[in-house]
Chain A
Amino acid sequence: MSMAGTTSLLLEVGCEELPARFLEAAERDLGVGLGAALGLLRPPNGDGRVSTYSTPRRLVAHIPSLYAEVPGTVDEIIGPPVKVAFDKEGKPTRAAESFAAKNNAKVSDLKRVSNAKGEYLALVLPKAGRSALEVLVEALPVVVGGLSFPKSMYWTVKAGPRFARPIRWILALLGEGSEARVVPFEFAGVESGQFTFGHRLAGHEPIRVNNFKCYLNDLRDHLVEANPEVRRKRIREELKVLLAELKLRVVPDDFLESWVVNSTEWPEPLLGSFNPRYLALPREVLIIVMRDHQKYFAAEDEVGSLQPNFVTFLNVVGDPQGVIRQGHERVLAARFADAEFFWQADQKLTLEQRIPMLERVTYQAKLGSYADKVGRMKVLAEKICLELEQTRRMTSEQRQNVLRAIELCKCDLTAQMVREFTDLQGIIGGLYAKVQGESSEVSEAIYDHYSPVSMEDSCPRSVIGAVVSLADKLDSVVSGFSAGIEPTGSSDPFGLRRAGNGIVKIAAERLPGLALDLLPAYASGYSIPVAEQSGLGERVRNFLRERVGYYLREVAKLRYDTTRAVVGSALGWSDPSDAALRGRALEQMIHTDDYRAMSQAAKRTRNILIKSAGDYIAGIQNVRVDLLREPEEEKLHEAFTSMGTRLLDLEKQRDYVVAFRELRAMREPIDSFFDHVLVMTDQPDIRANRLALLNSINAQIFSRLADLSEVESEDPNGDELGARDGAARLKR
């Protein structure tokens, strides 16, 4: 590729305040979109990399080095070989004529080109080069218009462009210094230009931009730090310094930190305080008021008790007179006064007294009230507890606590505090239970019973809480499926996938050994008839299996193919922690030649068995030694017999690493079996016997711990397509 010099690009899309939650993705998408659109202009070295920045009022991309032009290209359309194209006299043949005609050319326009296969007739079409400017004029509006947001708007005309908020200016600068020139284009009624704007408080005059370095510095002079990572660092340091003076530390909060980064152009900390009497309110309430309503960081002392201070980040230079602080303190005091009012009002009725009120709180139109839901949760919990008691993982006293917690756990839905702070459901109930004299086991279980709300969230602390949470989520899924509100495609209005994920996580991390595939049957004790719907149990089981797959990939970080392998194995998915163990053990061996070979053998075995399904079922169930003819099949049978016993041993000890290592001993016998023995022989009894042998090997070895036929030779996580394919297959 010829180089006609290089240039650079600076693009800034100036907007009205973009939602903080969109900013990181929008910045990333701009970089990706631009990089893809300018592929040919970007030198392969690091200089052609797109770096991106953002503030609430701007999305920025910078490419330090771009070719000043895309060189011309030459397209060759290869036609017939020269020896076919011309006859002995050198006249064009029919082949040549028709190739020319097909391409709207004359034979005289065609050229001869040589490649490895020989000399060919070809149509050569030179394509003119284009300057970077020409490319950018076309590409930039497409890139900007291609950004999508979770929620967008139109502001010019209805059919016009959509963006998260209106775009008010566009800086598009090609080259630097005296070379700098605007890439002229129009988007959403805004003409691109050579100007940017500073912080609102730093005046409304446009700032002329000549190069990237000055751009960043000029913005800083105008109270804009365009680099979000610099803002993040500043926020962290300021928090530390500010609180260290008071011997305090911040209650860490990643969500809040990112929110501040993405909602400020110039973050400045402000330390405020509140009346210590509000510290009588529970820590959880204080934090949620400060964090969710006011976006304040809470502060605690060295031993972790909350102090009557908060830190907020302003988007202005400072507050020399303290008026901003006073404003924030007044707002917070009012918020706390509200919370205090709710807390006191709620104490007039205990959770116990609120039980009858649940009959009037609708859970879901077809599924009745929360009183109904609590009844169903009890049915499920009794059976789960019984199962756990039989295996000595729970005592009958703990079962009583589970049932008590279930009785009370939804009562806080009638409390004013929860109506105001819905995210505190469960937590408030737990706190109320504690002050109202319930045992710590019960109040803790109530407190924890919504968790885990995501795969990152932690599980309930105790086995009691785990069972309450499990019963809650299982009921949501079973009764939800029965009412036809199961998730479809991307729609899951009742959050059943999340509930399913919670079930799997609890089973894996708190109640290992609990068989997930038995859970749907526990709902047979429901008094509502929905549980008897035909196929309901099967649908719920399929759903749970899918969720286990999700857990294995997202939490246990298994590959797509290993996930499929363990989920589809004989030991299956029902115990997700065991499935994760098997998957990890398999992954230690999966790269070896032996496993590549065995995976092929397993696939072959499976295919033969599928094709001959009728045959062996009608024939011999167990292998008959007297019908083994060839030495290779005898050897395979021997290997299978000893491996089968050994595998069962290792399986009992759950020593899967050793199991998968020793499994390699099957490679040689199975390979030579396939090399030398014809399975589908004409003799029916011998054929049936061979099929029976393969069937046993398949069941007890190849798909016992993991279905080896699912193992891919290449890591399928490596590319997107593999990943999507994996997900699709798992769903089936």
Chain B
Amino acid sequence: MPDDAHRSFVSFQDLLARLSQYWADQDCAIALPYDLEVGAGTMCPETFFRVLGSEAWRVAYIQPSRRPADGRYGENPNRLLKHTQMQVILKPPPADIQEVYLASLTRLGIDLRAHDVRFEEDNWESPTLGAWGIGWQVMLDGLEITQFTYFQQCGGIDLEPISVELTYGLERIAAFLQATSNVFDVRWNRTRTYRDLRFQEELELSVYDFEAAETGTCRQLFDLYEKEAWRLLDAWKETGVEIVSERNRMIGDEPVAKSNDEGACQLTPAWAEPKRFPLRKVFEYCLKCSHLFNILDARGAISVTERVALIGRVRKIACSVAAIDVARKTRSLEAQPA
């Protein structure tokens, strides 16, 4: 086959390494994948917190991402419950960002002169995070390989400066490079395929999300995580640092689940201090809720109206977290490492 992509074979792990190296060369810190279930690389703290505030930042990381509704028991050649993203944040974006992005494809061995790369309008939005942006899906010979977004808002807060977020779908790119039509046939390395590493996990996660998950338990877990998030958020009031999110005044207005341990609230806990406040833990509970919501959704257990309500509950936590983060940043209340 006279395909240029075959001149040098690119395994799945080569792909991870080459992209990481490319973005490292662009002064990105190569962060670690986040160790919680997330629906997309955007949901990791390295994106959520970094796009807020004014500090310039460049980061890239590989992020396994779960979308329970896309599970196909490992039987569909293209759809995966858990797929792998390469997430890149450039804040502020350079003026030649499109060229910088295209050069990353060249680094993967894609000859741009022999292929058709298109930037087609596609505006990304994450209602649970109160985040959205303007951008494109990047199409490579008709295949969507990257979501390219000029981030405009995160946690309900207008961003300044904005960031560019690049999200590569790595399985698809690997399948493209290896000219295979089934991602499970992608060579992970010289001896192993994607199937060898991932099939069983796809199957088992699909079985749980579609069949075994107990919706009542999932709802309870959702409530519990949400309650814990609000227990922490309510304590922020004790810091006396006012927060105002641009869209909503989040904290204090009708907390969804109040801590019933009233006695504990009498004294200001030691951790309710701006610099030490466990904001990232609140965010983790927010992510937990988001993932449980996705599982319930995949089970078809959520009606249209309930859907809106649940998304709103997750977003409320996310927007509060963002507001606190911005308040700390603007008042220089972040802890400085010793």
Which residue numbers of A lie inside 8 Å of B, CB to CB? 16-17, 19-21, 56, 151-155, 157-158, 165-166, 168, 200-201, 204, 263, 294, 312, 314-316, 319, 321-324, 326-328, 330-334, 337-338, 341, 360, 362, 365
Interface residues on B, range: 35 or more
- B211 part of interface (Cβ distance < 8 Å): no
Question: Would you call A327 and B140 a contact (CB within 8 A)?
Answer: yes
**B128-154 contacts to A (CB < 8 Å):** 133-134, 136, 140-143, 150, 152
- Residues from chain A with Cβ under 8 Å of B113 in the complex: 201, 316
- B260 part of interface (Cβ distance < 8 Å): no
- B2 part of interface (Cβ distance < 8 Å): yes
Give B5 Cβ to nearest chain A Cβ, in Å: 8
Known: A323-B4, A331-B142, A365-B305. 14 other contacts (CB 8 A): A17-B120, A19-B121, A20-B120, A153-B133, A153-B152, A158-B158, A158-B160, A168-B95, A204-B99, A263-B118, A319-B116, A324-B141, A334-B77, A362-B304
A314 touches which of B98, B116, B123 (Cβ 8 Å):
B116
- B93 part of interface (Cβ distance < 8 Å): yes
- B200 part of interface (Cβ distance < 8 Å): no
- Residues from chain A with Cβ under 8 Å of B5 in the complex: 323
Provide the main secondary structure of the chain A interface: mixed
Question: Would you call B2 and A321 a contact (CB within 8 A)?
Answer: yes
- B115 part of interface (Cβ distance < 8 Å): yes
Question: Would you call B3 and A315 a contact (CB within 8 A)?
Answer: no
Q: How far is the CA of A312 from the CA of B2 in the complex (A)?
A: 21
B121 touches which of A21, A154, A341 (Cβ 8 Å):
A21
Give B152 Cβ to nearest chain A Cβ, in Å: 6
Question: Would you call B134 and A165 a contact (CB within 8 A)?
Answer: yes
- B224 part of interface (Cβ distance < 8 Å): no
Question: Would you call B141 and A263 a contact (CB within 8 A)?
Answer: no
- List 4 tightest A-B contacts by C-beta distance, closest first: A327-B141, A19-B121, A17-B119, A153-B134
Give A191 Cβ to nearest chain B Cβ, in Å: 12
Contact with A along B165-188 (1 / 0, CB 8 A): 000000000001001010000000
What are 24 A-to-B residue pairs whose CB atoms are below 8 Å? A17-B119, A17-B120, A56-B119, A158-B159, A168-B95, A263-B120, A294-B142, A321-B114, A322-B2, A324-B114, A324-B116, A326-B141, A327-B115, A327-B140, A327-B142, A330-B181, A332-B142, A337-B76, A337-B77, A338-B76, A341-B76, A362-B303, A362-B304, A362-B305
Give B132 Cβ to nearest chain A Cβ, in Å: 10
B3 touches which of A152, A323, A338 (Cβ 8 Å):
A323
- Residues from chain B with Cβ under 8 Å of A332 in the complex: 142
Question: Would you call A154 and B162 a contact (CB within 8 A)?
Answer: yes
A157 touches which of B98, B99, B114, B160 (Cβ 8 Å):
B160
Known: A21-B121, A338-B76. A155 touches B141 (CB 8 A): no
Question: Would you call A157 and B161 a contact (CB within 8 A)?
Answer: yes
Tell me which of B5, B112, B119, B305 has the highest count of chain A C-beta atoms within 10 A of its own C-beta: B119
- Residues from chain B with Cβ under 8 Å of A56 in the complex: 119
Question: Would you call B303 and A154 a contact (CB within 8 A)?
Answer: no
Q: How far is the CA of A542 from the CA of B198 in the complex (A)?
A: 61
Q: How far is the CA of A314 from the CA of B114 in the complex (A)?
A: 11
- B26 part of interface (Cβ distance < 8 Å): no
Give A151 Cβ to nearest chain B Cβ, in Å: 7
Give B253 Cβ to nearest chain A Cβ, in Å: 22
- B78 part of interface (Cβ distance < 8 Å): yes
Question: Would you call A316 and B121 a contact (CB within 8 A)?
Answer: no
- Residues from chain A with Cβ under 8 Å of B2 in the complex: 321-323
Question: Would you call A155 and B93 a contact (CB within 8 A)?
Answer: yes
Give the nearest-CB partner of A16 in chain B.
Answer: B98
Give B66 Cβ to nearest chain A Cβ, in Å: 20
Q: How far is the CA of A285 from the CA of B305 in the complex (A)?
A: 29
Give the nearest-CB partner of B114 in chain A.
Answer: A323
**B289-313 contacts to A (CB < 8 Å):** 303-305
Q: How far is the CA of A338 from the CA of B123 in the complex (A)?
A: 24
- B197 part of interface (Cβ distance < 8 Å): no
Q: How far is the CA of A153 from the CA of B153 in the complex (A)?
A: 11
Q: How far is the CA of A44 from the CA of B268 in the complex (A)?
A: 77
Q: How far is the CA of A620 from the CA of B307 in the complex (A)?
A: 65
- Residues from chain B with Cβ under 8 Å of A333 in the complex: 181
Question: Would you call B143 and A331 a contact (CB within 8 A)?
Answer: yes
- Residues from chain B with Cβ under 8 Å of A312 in the complex: 142
Question: Would you call B150 and A155 a contact (CB within 8 A)?
Answer: yes
Tell me which of B120, B134, B140, B159 has the highest count of chain A C-beta atoms within 10 A of its own C-beta: B134
- Residues from chain A with Cβ under 8 Å of B304 in the complex: 362, 365
Give A584 Cβ to nearest chain B Cβ, in Å: 42
Known: A263-B120, A362-B303. A331 touches B141 (CB 8 A): yes
- B221 part of interface (Cβ distance < 8 Å): no
Question: Would you call B99 and A334 a contact (CB within 8 A)?
Answer: no
- Residues from chain B with Cβ under 8 Å of A155 in the complex: 93, 150, 162
Q: How far is the CA of A716 from the CA of B11 in the complex (A)?
A: 70
Q: How far is the CA of A201 from the CA of B115 in the complex (A)?
A: 10
Give A566 Cβ to nearest chain B Cβ, in Å: 41
- Residues from chain A with Cβ under 8 Å of B3 in the complex: 321, 323, 326
